[in-house]
Amino acid sequence: MKLSLLPVATLLAAALAAPSALAQKKYDPGASDKEIKIGNINPYSGPASAYGTIGKVIGAYFKKINDEGGINGRKINFISVDDGYSPPKTVEMARKLVEQDEVLVLFQPLGTPPNSAIHKYMNAKKVPQLFVATGATKWNDPMNFPWTMGWQPNYQTEGMIYAQHILKTRPNAKIGILYQNDDYGKDYVKGFKDGLGAKASMIVKEVSYEVADPTVDSQIVQLQSAGADTLFNVTTPKFAAQAIRKAYDIGWNPLHYLNQVSASVGSVLTPAGLDKSVGLISTQYFKDPTDKAWANDAAMKEWTAFMKKYYPEGNLTDAFNVYGYMVSQTLVQVLKQAGDNLTRENVMKQAASLKNFELPMFLPGIRINTSATDFAPIEQEQLIRFDGKEWVRFGEILGK
Amino acid sequence: MNQRTLTVVAVLLLLACALPFLVSNYRTFQFTLVLVYAIALLGLNILTGYNGQISLGHGAFYAIGAYTAAILMDRFGVPYWATLPVAGAVCLAVGFLFGLPALRLEGLYLALATFALGVSMPQLLKYHHFEKWTGGVQGIVITKPDPPFGLPLNPDQWLYYFTLAVMVLMFVLAWNLLRGRVGRAMVAIRDHHIAAEAMGINTAMVKSLTFGVSAFYTGVAGALGAIAIQFVAPDSFNIFLSIVFLVGIAIGGLASIPGAIYGALFIQFVPNIADEISKAAPWAVFGIFMIGFVYVMPLGVNGAIRMLLARLGRKAQNNRSTAGVTRPTINSPEEV
């Protein structure tokens, strides 16, 4: 009898001792001593399925973290679902993750329309909509939407960086702007004008085009005849290629700033003509896996090793796979900082207190900074210039 | 409708009413979408199942209904319930007008014309001259309605009951329409339009009107869908939606009213099941489900259920006749 009572007594003692230990731990739905549930929505099917690889690489990275013992001893339970880039499906999936799976945070939902569809819902439910995968500026609005945060440099930030460079290097420039007439294009132009500030009069002409337009040829001619010697080109890939080619063909040779959306060598510069693209300026913020300059870089080697072990079917030249890797590392940092206080409120608080946080795959000098009033994590980029073969980085890190 | 059918409908309706108290809010929301899709599918079924006109563009009418509701609520502060008749009326007019020229097109050619409508709709919605109202690519966010009169329901439950009530009304209207003169005229045109014309049916008028009524149903469904989702954007209404509707009526059962509900259950839940089975190829799994359904139930779910009931009935009669009761047994499948 004595013997069998011993374990009971031990249990009792443990139970009595437990509250003091538990007192420091705070959990919201989705977090426990054993695991942290992270929800994710990605377009694995449908028109935007090229982005699907981001969800897969995030899953692979969390598997690596779990293999290494998890975060503060807790394993990540990553629940990723498909919305096919269709906003109604996004709403349904967000509700599934929040109400049925009860995730702690919704991490990296992708695309501006899908995120717009759940913006209000997530904030009403007070569940973090963390590090959304879109470049729109509206995710940086902590006053009205304290549960939503972006991650990548937003369009306004990038526009501002080009303006900074122009002010510094060509104070007498005559600027022409070509932009797509929608929220994306206007976002860029707003950042650019904010960057110029009082010197916005440097802009001699602004022309826009519609997505449905067949070409932007006439717009390029208009900008040339307005006497512009500097072109800020805010176009999506097809139109970017047309603009580069047309400017070259009519013998117009402005200093040409091309938004990062269309900075792909394969899908924009090659169709436009590599010889016609020499001298283009754009931006970058992380190490491009196709850039030979990084071949012997320690961070690049680590990423390649990770890819080979955890995501062997992934494409080693696809920048999205670097993107997913970096954004997962950011979340891991936030969760580490949150410690044993895994409430949704604390996760947002920690995400809003990243100070000079550097990722190995960032370009040297780029840092993440957030605060209670600044929900735009990456606000720095470096300029790159096309030399006829590849993009070459130059100058210092610009931005905030 | 005989006594037995009436009882079955009453029991099903009671079950539908009890549902929000048995499942979570998230499931209630999903079932609300099922009801919405059921209305849309009934609309398409009136056109395709009963009248024999194939439409690959009903997603466009769904979009028009959704945008009408969203714009009225967002820009003009119209209450949500009042947007439904307007959305329906707009779609009725658009559908009727589209039906007039489309009438000259038969079968595949009509399918192509409607396909063009479905494909172009997202682009039209992005058109910048409409941006003032449509919100362009950003779409429109709308607020979820609260239950009125202080009813002890949450917004999800209220919206479910509201949608259920609209659906029941729409189904009763369709049932009335289809079993009467107009319904018979529609079927006659489908089966043999020359004979129908010879019998004095104004085929052109009936076909255009059918198109209009069908669009009316789909438009009301679109408005309800927008209210449930609380968001409309051009990307919500791509051509895939139209094709999924067509899949829904084929799976549920062509030319059958309950078939719309089975089809709605299929298009709401099977993609989610497919996604859980395979992340790599969810639509391939969906395709396998679809082929499976069509193979096992060539007349749709509704047809399969009818056949099953008929077979059970026959068995029961056979049993009775072997027990000594003399009754004629039905053997020819045409009779069931």
pLDDT band at B319, cuts 50/70/90?
Answer: confident
Final residue of a structural domain among A251, A284, A317: A284
> Any CB–CB contact under 8 A between B126 and chain A?
yes
The CA distance from A118 to the nearest CA of chain B, in Å, is 8
Does some domain include residue A5? no
Give A99's DSSP letter: I
Residues A146 and A46 in one domain: yes
Residue finishing a domain among A284, A319, A349: A284
Nearest Cβ partner of B231 from A82, A87, A100? Answer: A87
Residues B55, B242: contact at Cβ < 8 Å? yes
CA distance B113 to chain A (A): 20
Structure tokens at A18: 């437990």
Q: What is the 3-state secondary structure (H, E, C) of B53-90?
A: CCCCCHHHHHHHHHHHHHHHHHHHCCCHHHHHHHHHHH
- Given a contact cutoff of 8 angstroms between Cβ atoms, the answer to whether B283 and A89 are in contact is no
Compute the average pLDDT of residues B276-303: 85
Q: Is residue A202 part of a domain?
A: yes
- Chain B residue closest to A119 (CA)? B141
Beta bridge partners of A394: A383
The pLDDT tens digits of the residues spanning A279-304 come to 999 999 999 888 888 989 999 999 99
Looking at the structure, do residues A139 and A196 belong to the same domain, yes or no?
no
The chain-wide mean pLDDT, for chain B, equals 86
Write out pLDDT tens, residues A63-89.
999 999 999 999 999 999 998 888 888
Preferred mutation among B23, B26, B131, B132 to probe A, highest tally of A CBs within 10 A: B26
Say yes or no for a CB contact (<8 Å) between A92 and B29. Answer: yes
Q: Is residue A112 part of a domain?
A: yes
d(CA A230, CA B264) in angstroms, rounded, equals 56
Q: How far is B136 from chain A (nearest CA, A)?
A: 7
Q: A143: which DSSP letter? A: T
pTM here is 0.80
Instruction: Give CA–CA dist A215/A230, Å, rounded.
Output: 21
Task: Report the chain A residue with the minimal C-alpha distance to residue B279.
Answer: A44
A235 and A163 both lie in a single domain: yes
How far is the first Cα of chain B from the last one, in angstroms, to the nearest whole number?
16
Q: Which of A284, A304, A334 is the C-terminal boundary of a domain?
A: A284
CATH number of the domain at A110, please: 3.40.50.2300
Q: What is the DSSP string of A291-320?
A: -GGGTT-HHHHHHHHHHHHH-TTS-TT-HH
Residues of chain B contacting residue A186, judged by C-beta atoms under 8 Å apart: none
Distance CA A383, CA A119 (A): 32
Check residue B9 and give its pLDDT. Answer: 87
* Residues near A249 by beta carbon (within 8 Å), at least 6 away in sequence: none
B25 touches chain A (CB under 8 A): yes
Is the domain of A280 the same as that of A301?
no
The CA distance from A71 to A69, in Å, is: 7
Of B11, B10, B12, B102, nearest to B58 by C-alpha is B102
Q: Cβ of A210 and B128 within 8 Å? A: yes
A4 domain-assigned: no
Q: Please give the structure tokens belonging to residue B95.
A: 């559908």
- Overall average pLDDT of the B69-93 stretch: 91
B283 with A45: Cβ contact below 8 A:
yes
Q: Please determine, for residue B105, whether its predicted confidence score (pLDDT) is greater than 70.
A: yes
pLDDT one-digit tens code per residue, A6-62: 555 555 555 544 444 444 788 999 999 999 999 999 988 877 788 889 999 999 999
3-state SS, residue B102: helix
Using CB atoms, pick whichever of B137, B225, B235 lies closest to residue A182: B137
pLDDT of B125 higher than 50: yes
Which residues lie closer than 8 Å to B186 by C-beta, 6 or more apart?
B46, B50, B51, B178, B206, B210
Residue A133 sits in the same domain as residue A194: no
CB A30 within 8 A of CB A104: yes
**Low-confidence residues in chain A, pLDDT < 70:** 1-23
Give a yes or no: residue A263 inside a domain.
yes
Q: Domain check: are A173 and A280 in the same one? A: yes
Q: pLDDT tens digits, residue range B135-170?
A: 777 788 887 787 888 778 888 899 999 999 999 999
> A289 lies in a domain?
no
Range with lowest mean pLDDT among A319-328, B9-18, B197-206, B325-334: B325-334
- As beta bridge partners, residue A381 has A398
Task: Express each pLDDT in B61-71 by its tens digit.
Answer: 999 999 999 99
Residue B335 has pLDDT above 50, yes or no: no
- Identify the pLDDT of residue A126: 94
Q: What are the structural domains of chain B?
A: 3-143+151-317 (1.10.3470)
Do residues A260 and A373 share a domain?
no
Judgement on whether residues A314 and A217 belong to the same structural domain of the protein: no
**pLDDT tens-place string over residues B214-231:** 999 999 999 999 999 888
Contact B29 A87 (CB under 8 A): no
Please state, in angstroms and rounded to a whole number, the distance separating the CA atoms of residues B207 and B202: 9
Q: Are residues A105 and A198 in the same domain?
A: no
Structure letter (DSSP) for residue A267: I
Instruction: Say yes or no to pLDDT of B109 above 90.
Output: no
Mutate to test the interface with B, among A91, A137, A141 (most CBs of B within 10 A): A91
A351: in domain:
yes
- Chain B residues in contact with A210 by the CB 8 A cut-off are 127-128
Q: A319 lies in a domain? A: yes
**pLDDT mean over B269-275:** 86
Domains of chain A: total: 2
Rounded to the nearest 10°, the torsion over CA B130, B135, B137, B139 is: -130
Q: Quick one: pLDDT band at residue B106, thresholds 50, 70, 90? A: confident
Residues A159 and A275 in one domain: yes
Q: Could you list the residue range(s) of the whole structural domain that residue A173 is in? A: 155-284
Which run of H or of E encompasses A233?
Answer: strand A230-234
Is B236 an 8 Å CB contact of chain A? yes
Q: How far apart are CA A230 and CA A206, in angstroms?
A: 12
**Residue for token digits 């063009």?**
B116
Strands (E) in B110-184, as ranges, are: 140-141
- How close is the nearest chain B Cα to the Cα of A184, in Å? 9
| Cα nearest neighbour of A136 on chain B | B138
Does the beta carbon of B135 lie under 8 angstroms from any beta carbon of chain A? Answer: no
Q: What gap in Å lies between CA A45 and CA A54, rounded to an integer? A: 13
Contact B231 A117 (CB under 8 A): yes
Q: Based on the domain organization, do A95 and A201 belong to the same domain?
A: no
Residues A333 and A373 in one domain: yes
Confirm or reject contact between B155 and chain A (CB < 8 A).
Answer: no
Which candidate from A92, A95, A183 shows the least CB-CB separation from B138? A183
CB pairs under 8 A between A and B: 87
CB within 8 Å: A44 and B236: no
